[in-house]
Amino acid sequence: MLSETLVSDVLRRARLGGADFAELYVERWKRRNLRMLSGEVKEATSGLEYGAGLRLFYGTEVVYAYTNDLSPESLLEVTETLVKLKGQAGQVDSRGEGGLDFRKQAARGLHAPEVPLSARDRRYRVERLLEAEAAARVAPEVKQVQTQLLEWDQEVLVATSEGKWVEDRRVRTRYVVTAIAQNETGMQTGTFGPGLSVGLELFDRYPPSEIGRKAGEQAMTNLRAKPAPAGTMPVVIGNAFGGVIFHEALGHLLETTSVAKKASVLSDKLGEKVASDCVTYIDDGTTPHGWGSSEFDDEGMETARTVLIENGVLKSYMVDKMGAMKTGYAPTGSGRRQDYTYAPTSRMRNTFIAPGDTPIEKLFEGIEYGLYAKDMGGGQVKPGSGEYNFGVKEAYIIRNGRIEEPVRGAMLVGKGPDSIAKIVAVSSDLETSPGMCGSLSGSIPTEVGQPHLLISEIVVGGQA
C-alpha cells in the first residue's frame, strides 16, 4: 500500500527525533452492509476506509497520530508534528541513523475465503437473506423480520523501526437475523448472527433457513414467556454465546491494559488459583476461520493459542507490546485495534472455556428451582471492582431438575472473580459464537464460547 522508501523515511525520522520505537500501520478496508426488512432491501452501503496510524514509544510513553492522507508530504508532516510534540525536533538521535532492512512477512492465507468479496451477484446476497426471513416467519405473530449482511475485506501493513514488515488480509462475513413477534401482550425479539473469517460460504456453513428459524422461534418463546424471577439462584448457562460470562468476568481482567496498571482484581496472580478446577480458559487467535482470528495481530506479531487458565490456575495474561514493556510478560500476539484511528492494546481474540466431562443432564439434576439461560446477549465489566453483568436472550425456569416454562428479560450480575469459583460443573458440548467487543482500542470482532455449565448461585435480575 505504501512504498518501502516512504515507510522507511517515516520510521527513521521518528527514531532520529528520539523515539525508542516507531510503528506505522496502514489499512485499506472495503466493507459492504446490506439491511433488509420484510422482504425489502432497506439500505445497501459500500465503503472504502483508508488511513494510517503512526505510533511512537518514548520509554513507556506513547504518542499516536492517524490520518487519511497517505501522501509522502502528509505522512512526513505527521511524523514531524509528533516529534515536535515531544519537544525533541531539534535533536538528532544517532540510533535512528542508517537504513532499515525490512524482514518481510506475508499472510499464508490460513483464513482466506473461498468466495471473495467481489464474487457473486448482489442478488445472491438478497436471495440468501430472503431465505432467512422466510424461515423466521414461524408463526403469524412474527410481524417483522430484519436481516443484515456485513462483508469486510481488510488489508493491513504493519512496519516497525525494528525491521518488521507484515502484510495481512482479513476477510470476515456475518449475517444477523432479528425476528419481532407481537401480540396483545407486547413485542419481543429473537436474534441470531453467525459470523466467521470467511466469504459468502458463510451461508453454506450456517444455512439461512436454520438461522432464520432459530430467530423466529426465539421471538415466539419470548412472546409467551413471563417476566423472569428476581433473586439469587443456581443457573445453567447454555453453550456458544453463553461464553460471554467469561469474556466479561475473566477475559477483560486478564488484558495487560488493566493488569499493567494494577487496575484489575487479577493483577499479580500468575500461578494462583483464580477459578474452580473444572475451568480451563483459552484465547486462541489461530482458530481456522474464527471470527476473531488473524494470522498477525495489529502490531505485526503472529497470533497464538494462549492458555489463560488451566484447571483453575492462572497461566498467562493477554499481552501487547507496550503491556510487555510495562509488565515483563512476553507478548502473546494480542495487540488489536478497531482500525487506524486507534492505537492497539491487549485484547481478546477467540476466547472459550475448554470442554469438561460432566454430562449435560447432570447439570440440571438436583436443581430444585433455578434458571436455564439458554442464549445470552452482551455484557460489561469494571475490571477494578470485578463487577460484571450480562443479558439473557432466552431463558427457562428449572424446577426439580426439569426445564419448564420460558421467562424473559433477565440479567445476570456478579461481583469479583470469586463468583467464577461458583462455576461447579462444565459439560463437553463446546461451541463458539461471534460478537463485537468494545474497549480502549475500539470495537473489534471476538469469539466467545463454552460448553453448558452450572453456576451454583448468581443474582438473576428479573421482575417477578
Partner 1 sequence: MNFEEAKDYLLKKARQMGIDAEVLAAESRELSLSAFGGQLEEITQATQGGIGVRVVVEGKVGYAYTEEKTPEALDWVMQEAHENALLQSSGGGFIPVGSALGRHDLLGEGLSAPLEQKQAAALTVEATLRQDARVKQVPRTSYQEQEIQVVLGSTQGASGGYRTGVSVVMGMAILSDGGAPKQSWNVDFSREFHALEPGKTALDLIHDTARLLGARPLKTGKYRAYFEPKAFAQLLGVISFMFSAKNVLEGKSLLAGKVGERVASDLVTVVDDPTLPGGIASRPFDAEGTPSRRLTLIEKGVLKSFAHNSETARQMGVEPTGNAQRSYKGVLGVGHSNLFLEPGSGVKLQEGVIVTEMMGLHAGANPISGDFSLQALGLKVEGGEVAYAVENFTVAGNLLSLLQSISAVGEGLEWEYWGMALGAPMVEVAELSFAGA
Nearer to partner 1, 127 or 277 (CB): 127
How wide is the angle at C-alpha 199 spanned by C-alphas 197 and 200, nearest 5°? 135
Minimum CB separation of residue 194 from partner 1 in Å reads 19
Minimum CB separation of residue 269 from partner 1 in Å reads 15
Minimum CB separation of residue 373 from partner 1 in Å reads 12
H, E, C per residue of 291-339: CCCCCECCCCCECCEEEEEECCEECCCECCHHHHHHHCCCCCCCEECCC
Specify the 3-state DSSP secondary structure of 124. helix
Nearer to partner 1, 105 or 182 (CB): 182
Which residue in this structure is represented by grid cell 423480520? 145
Nearer to partner 1, 47 or 163 (CB): 47
- Nearest CA among 356, 338, 359, 355 for reference residue 347: 338
For residues 8 and 14, is the Cβ–Cβ distance under 8 A?
no
Minimum CB separation of residue 29 from partner 1 in Å reads 9
H, E, C per residue of 129-170: HHHHHHHHCCCCCEEEEEEEEEEEEEEEEEEECCCEEEEEEE
Q: With 0-12 CB in 10 A as exposed, 13-18 as middle and 19+ as buried, what is 351?
A: buried
Exposure of 25 in the CB half-sphere (CA atoms within 13 A): 25
Nearer to partner 1, 101 or 184 (CB): 184
Nearer to partner 1, 241 or 329 (CB): 241
Helix, strand, coil percent values for the chain (each to nearest 5):
20, 45, 35
Nearer to partner 1, 33 or 209 (CB): 33
Specify the 3-state DSSP secondary structure of 115. coil
Minimum CB separation of residue 358 from partner 1 in Å reads 27
Minimum CB separation of residue 437 from partner 1 in Å reads 11
Minimum CB separation of residue 463 from partner 1 in Å reads 4
Nearer to partner 1, 180 or 202 (CB): 180
